[in-house]
Structure 1
Amino acid sequence: MTVTIPALLLFLSIQATGKTGNSAILSGLQNLGGPFKLVGGLFVLVGVGLVVNWVINYCLDTVAIKIYQKRRQLETADKLLTEIDRLPLSYPLKIQLKWVVLHNETQKLTELQFLGRHGVKVGVCGLILLSILGYLGQFFYLLDLTSHFKLQYLIGGIIGFFYFAFKRRKSWIIVSLICIVLNLAEIAPWYWPNPAIATPVQSSIPLKVLQSNLLFQNKQYEKLLSFVRQETPDIAAFMEVKTEWKEQLETLRDILPYAVLKGDIALYSSLPLTRVYENSLDSQKRGVIAQISFPEKVLSIVVAHTNIPLSKNLFKKRNQQLEAIADYVAPLNNPTLVVGDFNISLWSPIYKKFVKNSNLKNARSGFGIMPTWPSLNPLLSIPIDHCFVNREIQVLNTRKGPNIGSDHLPLVTDLGVLKE
């Protein structure tokens, strides 16, 4: 099993590449390694092997102890001690078995006692497993769901590190570091300075974009309306817009006079929407596509709200929606803005494929991961609301907005549309 589990992970990763031969093995290792590519893949396989080896040894040791606890009730201590000496077991395990034989009172380890002794070990191993399974998200929706909680896995690994450092468990400190490195490698790059983020150039058109999933059940209208008026965006995109919200958003017409509503999506603008593509995305690929004409450029805007991938069918539909958006925006040479609730995080392999195929970049880059959902439970919060731009648009700033009564936090992004 120590070899089989890492081999199975590598096999699944190779299958995802669609390649054969030596190039498939290299690509599979690079997929597992994430940002660390080939070296990271080797590191992951070795780490998984070590963890599996510990789990197997621990389980076998536990079974052996249970067996000798039972046999001690039926056989003499001398006989069992002689037998233990002859067994090809490790010295520490032999000591444990002899202790069990010499203390014939069987001690039952309760679930609570087990968690007290080994809960942190099991927890850190579980976090490592979940961290790795996320790289295989393209195969199954449950695997994809494990990719979204890198921040939580990182925090868990740090807690484990300090716990084992306090206990002076050197081997488990290393295991905790594996968990930390796996997830920090995915999170840290979002905080690194981005060459695309700089002071606005003279030949750019300033553009402020506000986006928010309103939540159908939310009735705290004034919070959102006040926030929009305070920010005075040039473009505002809203998702989960029902009848009551449509009426409330119409009060923004004095600052955002141009609007298009389709399904549960509303796009408002202070600039004329020169063209709206009503039938560009079908009912399974919910979205609004529009254009704004500047004197020098034409800005394409896509507002999306993809399906929540909580089943195999919805997972497939969400991925199809992302593919449709990528197919539409990739050939565009004019400035392109894509915003919405994508129900996918920065670390999903499907997200990474979308960004690559669409030639877009996330406005978060350089500003941090900024989790937006669920707003009511920050400990489980993940970034699933996104603002994407192509090379014709410069990102100047992006930030989260306040709680407006929804389960999502708004995003506000300051852009510069390049003239040349």
Structure 2
Amino acid sequence: MSHHSGSYRNVAAIIALMLLVILAVVSLLPLIETNTWWIRYLDFPRLQFAIAMSIVLALYLALRGRPRPRDWIVLVGALCALAYQIYKLHPYSGLVNPVAVAQAECREGQSVRIMVANVKRRNESADVFLDQGLATDPDLLLVMETDAWWDERLASLSSRYRHQVQSIPDDHAFYGMHLFSKLELISPEFDFFFDAVTPTVVTQVRLPGGETVGFIGVHPRPPLAWSQSTTMRDAHLLQAALRARQSDVPTIVAGDFNAVPWERINRRAMRIGRLIDPRVGRGLYATYDTESILMSWPLDQILFQPQLTLQDFGTLPDFGSDHRAVVATLCHDAAAAQHAPELLADDLAQAEASIDAAR
């Protein structure tokens, strides 16, 4: 090996080592309890960070061969960070048993099919979306980021869906919301938890067999660079979870959460609301961003309480939005042998603190 070749390899190994330091730090920063937008955003690309760390580790070992003693500190730190990423992501692999029990058969009149779609306000592929909705044929269709333009296009669904409610804010059009239902909606209302622009639809739904289930449709504000911490989003999700916890019927919480399933706040909301995530044991089912491989995260979710079992779950093909729609068929079964995650000692106190901060 020439002197120059050895120098290049040495420089490349040092760069790889520096990249490992950066990747380890950004992987572990979300352990800090904070609402700061950029730290909380680091929770989203855990899979991307894990892949990047694996590649850089392999590259370093290929360049260096045997690590130098002083490099071991960095390598051990990087391996710990990689192990942490795997720990956070492994529930969404096929390596664990699904929490949501699969139930192929359902007694007549006890099932409900749900479709959740963020159509993207500036997306004008309404025909593609409407065709997809008709082909999927859900009983409940939650549509988000609707505005007056989308309201006109969605009017064609009225013949199929006898029941519908909508909220279209005048100024903040990114938070319009429509709920269409073939099934009777009982006392549907839009609640604005902490501000006047992000509606949450809260209703009960009467199944054909006569049983009643709750439905809470959410679309909280995302963390935004410089201008928007996660305070409002976190409190929004926790308030929805508390509503589910207080419900006297089995409840579904669905929508564009603007949060990934493995985030601390999402896990707390699931424990508080006694909610089951069908992704656990089945896969990531990324829904956003349809235009980017690097930004590929499961933001759109359908969670449900243990008296509801899962008949099917999945995402639908791209229809022109930056989100894919997610769909699930659930069966009302009071005797279902499945369990929501257990409440931790400080969950309710932490939720109250988050809600107070948002107020």
- After TM superposition, the score normalised by the length of structure 1 is 0.68
| Residue identity in the other structure for 1:133 | L
Per residue, is there more helix in 1 or in 2? 1
Residue equivalent to 1:329: 244
Residue equivalent to 1:257: 162
Residue equivalent to 2:338: none
**Structure (1 or 2) with the larger CA radius of gyration:** 1
Cα offset for 1:256? Answer: 2.3
> Contact (CA 8 Å) 2:106, 2:331: kept in 1 or not?
no
Residue equivalent to 1:359: 274
CA distance in 1, matches of 2:42, 2:88: 14
The one of 293, 298, 306 equivalent to 2:220 is 306
| Residue identity in the other structure for 2:17 | K
Q: Please show how residues 6-405 of structure 1 align to structure 2 within 5 Å.
A: 116-167=12-63, 168-170=65-67, 171=72, 176-191=78-93, 192-203=96-107, 205-263=110-168, 264-279=176-191, 281=193, 283=196, 286-294=199-207, 295-310=209-224, 311=226, 313-405=228-320
> Contact (CA 8 Å) 1:297, 1:335: kept in 2 or not?
no
CA 1:285–1:222: 2 relative to 1, 3 Å: closer
CA distance in 2, matches of 1:139, 1:120: 31
CA distance in 2, matches of 1:286, 1:317: 13
Aligned residues: 311
Cα offset for 1:315? Answer: 2.2
| Residue identity in the other structure for 1:184 | I
User: What percentage of aligned pairs have identical amino acids?
Assistant: 20
CA deviations on 1:97-130 (whole Å, 9 max, x unpaired) are: xxxxxxxxxxxxxxx9997442221222211111
> Contact (CA 8 Å) 2:44, 2:297: kept in 1 or not?
yes
Cα offset for 1:139? Answer: 4.6
Q: Which runs of 5+ in 2 are unaligned?
A: 1-7, 169-175, 336-359
- Structure with the bigger RCO (C-alpha within 8 Å, sep 6+) is 2
CA 1:278–1:379: 2 relative to 1, 3 Å: closer
CA distance in 1, matches of 2:197, 2:26: 30
Cα offset for 1:285? Answer: 5.1
CA distance in 1, matches of 2:258, 2:157: 27
CA distance in 2, matches of 1:146, 1:173: 21
CA 1:115–1:300: 2 relative to 1, 3 Å: farther
CA 1:227–1:139: 2 relative to 1, 3 Å: closer
Cα offset for 1:222? Answer: 1.4
> Contact (CA 8 Å) 2:115, 2:141: kept in 1 or not?
yes
> Contact (CA 8 Å) 2:99, 2:276: kept in 1 or not?
no
- After TM superposition, the score normalised by the length of structure 2 is 0.79
Q: Which runs of 5+ in 1 are unaligned?
A: 1-111
| Residue identity in the other structure for 2:188 | V
CA distance in 2, matches of 1:297, 1:364: 26
Question: Secondary structure in 2 aligned to 1:194?
Answer: coil
CA distance in 2, matches of 1:397, 1:245: 28
- Compute the RMSD of aligned alpha carbons: 2.6
CA distance in 2, matches of 1:236, 1:375: 20
Question: Secondary structure in 1 aligned to 2:186?
Answer: strand
CA 1:114–1:349: 2 relative to 1, 3 Å: farther
The answer to which of 117-126 and 258-267 deviates more is 117-126
> Contact (CA 8 Å) 1:297, 1:419: kept in 2 or not?
no
